[in-house]
Structure 1
Amino acid sequence: MVQNNLLAELNAGQFSGAALGHVQAILSDITSAISAANAAVSTFGNTAGAEQTLRASQLSIINAVNSDPVLANPAPATPLPTAPAPAPHNLAEIGEMFDYVASQILGGVNDGNRAEITDDINAVISDMQALMTANPELFDGLTGVHADTIVRQLQLELVYINDPTISPTAAQASSDNILDIIKIVQSDANLADMATQDGVGGFSPLPDATGPAPKYLDSGVQTVFLAHFIAQSNSLGKQAVDLAGSQDAGAIAALIDDLRAFEKSVTDFDASQGATLGAEIAAMIKGLQTGNVALVTAAADQMHGNAADIGGHNIPVTGGTFNTDGVTVAEVLGTVAEVPPVAENSAASTPAVQQVVAPTISVEPVAVATADVSIGEVDHAQSGIPELAHHLHHTWG
């Protein structure tokens, strides 16, 4: 083996000058040692002479190596080049695969295509995560929150298409979920730009899904739940922005507890759909813990955007519209009445103020969670709550 390795190095031109002569001498010594060993075995004679020859060859080889600085201190072997890791797919390429999957899902999931769709969605999730990890600078702020939301929505899609007991409402939510992912990309200028590169486009809008979204008239339970959702989204977001970077560990810890409790309340409400406030809450908590004001602000903006989206697509039981900037349930449900201005020189002159009055919901009152209004007790199985969850689940991804 030693002989073969030295011959290979010699033939590769690895040695020159004095080192070349010494290697040739070493090869000669090795040849003598091999011949002596073979002769002793084949003839069963002169073992002592063979041992002396082997010993002499060994000493000669050691001397040749030690007397030559090149052989005594060989340069480290150059490692074989390794193939570079493939670059992650860009968002346009990922989006192109998503479009293919979306066309299959919207066409109908069945036992014949379920496994393929599942594999493709998992591939899109992996590629999205790899792209975000390799290029964090592309996913700063709100764009990062949106990208994380897309990953979570895709994970939610796996639940929809692989749960054999999924309800008809949730089955429809699968299609809505796909449309929501497209909307997230197309509504974020950074993502929309990255989704079209080098002639490749993905997350493409569907021509038959561009009509205005319908508005839903809510029941009493739905009205207060949504008012609570809107108020908490805005209030917690504002608190987080105020605390971000403050180093007030106690207040930050308390707010993080409130954020997790809020997420749980929404998740419990929409348990049949599997939706959560995951991306926004996770980003906000990370920003609070690391002092990243920009990340907290982006998450708060997204939560307020969710509140505005919900308020814009639902009508309170009392009529009118939700005040999507409110930070209490009373403000979200309130009617605004301006106080008439007082005469300019009047001693009672004071700045005009706005009075917010919560509307009356005429049912037997019972307390609802931590909301600051009350509503009547309602049978949730017949209240339209599942339909409300279906209409709104996408904003909680």
Structure 2
Amino acid sequence: MTIATDRATALGATTNDVGQAGLIFNDAVRLSEGGLWAEPADSSNQLNYASMYEADISALKADITLAMTDGATVNGTAVTPSNPNTLSEILGQLNDLAAAAPQAVGNSAAAIAAQGIIHTEQQQILSEIANDTNLQHALAANGVTNPGTGATDQGFQSLPAQAADDSAAIATAKAGASLSDIGTVFNAATNLAAGGLNSHNLAEFNADMKAVAAGLQNFINNGGLAEIQANSAAEHALALSEGISDSAAQALTGVHLQTVLNQVELQINDFDATYATNPNVAARATNDNLLDIIDIVQTDPALAASAGNPTATAANFTAGTFVPSHDGGFANQAGYLQGTITHFQDNQAQTDFWSAFIAGANNLNNALTAEANGTAHLDNAGLNALIQQVQGYEQLGASFDGAQGGIFGARFDNELLGGTLKADTNTALQALHDVLNNGGTVSATDAAQLIAAGDGYVGDAQDVSGNNNPNGGGTYVGTATTVAGATTTQIADANTPTSGNVDGNDQPTDHPVKGLTNNGFGVTDPHAGAGAGSPVSAGSGSTTDQAAHSTSMLSGAIAGDIASLVQALEGGQTSAISAAVATLTAAISGNSGSTAVSSNAGSSQGGNESILTADAGNAAGFSDQFSHVSHHLQFEHMWH
């Protein structure tokens, strides 16, 4: 038989093929990363991991039982285990997992005990396979390319071997001399998280992540990033995949590494603490966050080479044979079966948001690239306007995500609160402020950063929206520059505010949201006093309340102003765009909660006629080079 990599086929029929069973086991282990979750069950087309894990273990028990009675095969070839007791021992361990799984959700004493059983028994099964020479050789010889991660997985794929978090490893990681050393501690943290995080192991995990964060910061500050960027073969490979220059690829690698640091800090500052208050959301968020970090490193050739990926060589870059690896630091975990992670089903408010997010990304990319390549020469007013639009775009993402809460927040926090959106924005702002301070002169470094930030915006928007289903059907159009054009059904509405303190029903929430706390109420985490999915009381979440909160909040006025700006951009009328920017500027300047706005915000009206509209961009000579699909984060979310 041919080993299937999709969930429906793999779980659809009992087989004696240990290779096929091993891919189901890989799926289960990946589901357990960070812990299983069950509430709210099957929300927005998101199947809860607890039920999927139990289904995996049930299928595995049947497969191993058949292999014991009919004889084991791997990819259709008969294999006799070296130890005649290997399969029976694995079956016993699977029985333990089946008994523990229904108890493993949450932070009760019983849940913690069950999580410990899952962690231990999964490791034990991997040891059984590794110590059985015949099975291990057969499985290793029949690895398959995982369609989600791009790595070659064997059945019963072992966890990353380069993993350590003893005192010496922690100290070495903190020093930040090597991305491989930092990744070794990160691997230890991800191995520890398999089965779940709780009061028994969270302190060790948190210490590991803090060591990784300190090491990454030191690595960036002390020349490690510059050394990575000097890997010309790796950066050229990244440039080719992205359709950008080598210098822009170098800047993009910097964005990727900063994104990794941002997401590690998000884990430390938010998700780890959430295990005490909402372990379901914490488990879902941690799973997505850790696996996403691995994807970022493993799909950037320069980062992968520095982290110790053995396929990240100049010869492989030239031949196009570089792939993510299970070896080295930030090593790949075994992949999901195709179909395990489903698209998030958006309601209308979420559809409106993603559509605005896509259109904003493409328009900002066009504007930043035009400034970088000289097809636009913005004066001070135009630069200040573009700075505001970059800041507003980041707040658009952060405020909407924060107000959704629940599983929406758990799945997309690492994109919209502390990950690549933040890194892209900081990179764009650094370059724009540099251009502004140098009298409009765009240096080579500025140009590279502007292109990298724009590419990052587009890649992020295409990636995350591509893992959502718009309300009413159809798909998102990642290259769209208008809200209406961002879905194939043109169902999105630019008139609907998509930011501020609004829940998944586009109603004011009863609980103001602060960035990095993921404590908003939405359809996936409804207000305690309301029915599931029902709107909470109107009138709450007022502008007065919101102004007191963090920079990820937008007032209702600013939300409306952003919607007006989007409408003006679609219309292509320069006077309407200028008026909308002026109104948004005034609202942001008057919002006490928005500390990220430039001190020059007041002088930014006007001068933006050629910045964000598609029509103006074409008139200015923009090329269509930015319609490509960004690849640097191509695997994230789809397989998390």
Deviation string 1:107-163 (CA, Å, 9 cap, x unpaired) is 322222222222211111111111122234224311100000000000011121124
Deviation track 1:299-323 (CA, whole Å, cap 9, x = no partner) reads: 1111111111123211212322111
Q: Is the 8 A contact 2:307 2:329 kept in 1?
A: yes
Gaps of 5+ in 2: 1-173, 230-249, 312-326, 435-441, 510-520, 527-531, 533-635
Q: Tell me which residue corresponds to 2:394.
A: 263
Structure 1 residue 147 corresponds to structure 2 residue 257: yes
Show the counterpart of 2:188: 100
CA distance in 2, matches of 1:126, 1:376: 40
Q: 1:263 is matched by which residue type in structure 2? A: E
| Structure 1 residue 334 displacement after superposition | 4.7
**1:204 aligns with one of 307, 317, 331:** 331
Question: Quick one: structure 1 residues 231 and 186, their matched pair in 2 at CA, closer, same or farther if it must change by over 3 Å?
Answer: same
- SS in structure 2 opposite 1:287? helix
Structure 2 equivalent of residue 160 of structure 1: 271
How far apart are the structure 2 equivalents of 1:377 and 1:130? Answer: 42
SS at match of 1:202: coil
Structure 1 residue runs of 5 or longer lacking an equivalent are 1-85, 336-357, 388-393
Q: Within 5 A, what are the aligned runs for 1:1-397?
A: 88-133=176-221, 134-137=223-226, 138-139=228-229, 140-158=250-268, 159-163=270-274, 164-166=276-278, 168-196=280-308, 201-209=328-336, 211=338, 213-244=341-372, 246=377, 248-271=379-402, 272=405, 273=409, 275-276=417-418, 277-290=421-434, 291=442, 292-334=446-488, 358-359=490-491, 367-369=496-498, 381=521, 383-384=523-524
Residue by residue over 1:50-84, the C-alpha shift from the partner in whole angstroms, topping out at 9 and shown as x without a partner, is xxxxxxxxxxxxxxxxxxxxxxxxxxxxxxxxxxx
RMSD: 3.1
2: CA distance, partners of 1:167 / 1:229: 29
- What is the rounded CA distance, in whole Å, between the counterparts of 2:294 and 2:288 in structure 1? 10
Amino acid at match of 1:196: G
Q: 1:260, 1:281 within 8 Å by CA — same for their partners in 2?
A: yes
Change in 2 beyond 3 A, CA 1:166/1:280: farther
Q: In the aligned structure 2, how far is the partner of 1:190 from the partner of 1:211?
A: 28
CA contact (8 A) 1:93 1:202 kept: yes
- Cα deviation per residue 1:284-305 (whole Å; 9 max; x = unaligned)? 1112222301111111111111
The residue matched to 1:203 in structure 2 has which SS? coil
Q: Which whole-Å CA distance do the structure 2 matches of 1:366 and 1:300 have between them?
A: 25
CA offsets, 1:164-185, max 9 Å, x none? Answer: 3246224311121000001111
Rounded to whole Å, the distance in 1 between the matches of 2:307 and 2:272 is 25
Which sits farther off after the overlay, 241-250 or 146-155?
Answer: 241-250
1:227 to 1:120, Cα distance in 2 relative to 1, 3 A: same
SS of equivalent to 1:209: coil
Task: Give distance in 2, aligned partners of 1:317 and 1:184.
Answer: 29
The one-letter code matched in structure 2 to 1:225 is F
Contact kept, 8 Å, 1:227 with 1:332, in 2: the verdict is yes
Indicate how the Cα distance of structure 1 residues 367 and 154 shifts in structure 2: closer, same or farther if over 3 A, else same: same
Structure in which a larger fraction of residues adopt helix: 1
- Shifted more, 108-117 versus 298-307: the winner is 108-117
SS in 2 for 1:328: coil
Query: Structure 1 residues 298 and 377 mapped into 2: Cα distance closer, same or farther (>3 Å)?
Result: closer
1:39 aligns with none
Deviation for aligned residue 1:379: 7.6
Q: Give the number of equivalent residue pairs.
A: 275
SS in 1 for 2:194: helix
Structure 1-normalised TM-score?
Answer: 0.62
Query: CA 1:376–1:334 in 2, change beyond 3 Å: closer, same or farther?
Result: farther
Q: Is the contact made by 2:348 and 2:492 (CA closer than 8 Å) also made in structure 1?
A: no
State the secondary structure of the residue aligned to 1:193.
helix
- Distance in 1 of aligned mates of 2:337 and 2:183: 19
SS in 2 for 1:107: coil
TM-score, scaled to structure 2: 0.40
Q: Any runs of at least 4 consecutive aligned residues in structure 1 with deviations exceeding 6 A, and if so which?
A: 197-200
